[in-house]
Structure 1
Amino acid sequence: MKVAFATQDQQRVDAHFGWAKHLAVYEIEATGYKFVQDFGFGEDLAEDGNEDKLAPKLEAIGDCAIVYVAAIGGSAAARVVAHKIHPVKVTSPEPIMDILDKLQVVLQGTPPPWLRKALAKGQERNHDFDTDDEEVKP
């Protein structure tokens, strides 16, 4: 599963989603994690109600299941959730490596329901429907 982190310094989750200079993406599973990519964003990140600045961020993390943020606005959170990404707010700046270590431990046990749902992102659903050639009439 891929996880994104909103960061200013590329070391800690310390950024508001809309104002983040970087979104660092990692691949994580129960046995380990690895850095995938850092998406850098320009300097024009002021709180101005300009929701267009969110589109490139949403596109960058589109295949992520979770995004860790220091803060996120209501409309941005709604857009993140609409992309099937689970936003997680940290209460104070926290090192990305510490979060990854904790998340890995959780993945080794029984993850909570919200995390199990996030883990399913991108996996094909297997519907065991019997297929009949019978015509269905209204």
Structure 2
Amino acid sequence: MRLIYLLLGFLALGLALLGVVLPLLPTTPFLLLAIACFSRSSKRFETWLYHTKLYQTYVADFRETGSIPRKRKKRILVSIYILMGISIFFAPIIWVKIALVGLTIFITYYLFKVIPDRPEDPDSK
């Protein structure tokens, strides 16, 4: 089982890396999956991934503080609106379009009302 988790961890990590350059693939969920798989298979790879710049950029803030800076939330939302807009435009069935609009509204609500804002770091400006 450890080997399967290890292979799944590397597959998820590879998809996360693709997600950095391809806007259609979500980076953060694949990084979280990679961490979960590595935690069950290899503490060495889990520790390594925790210390990578990729992990620090996409996951560390939220995992440690449970909050996201408002500026980052806005960037996330722009990406979601673009991708959902494309999906809604090309969806062939009206019920799928309605469901995607509902999902977009839910994501917007969740991002801005449920996940707390973290004050911007004065050193990052």
Normalization by structure 2: what TM-score? 0.28
> Which has the larger strand fraction?
1
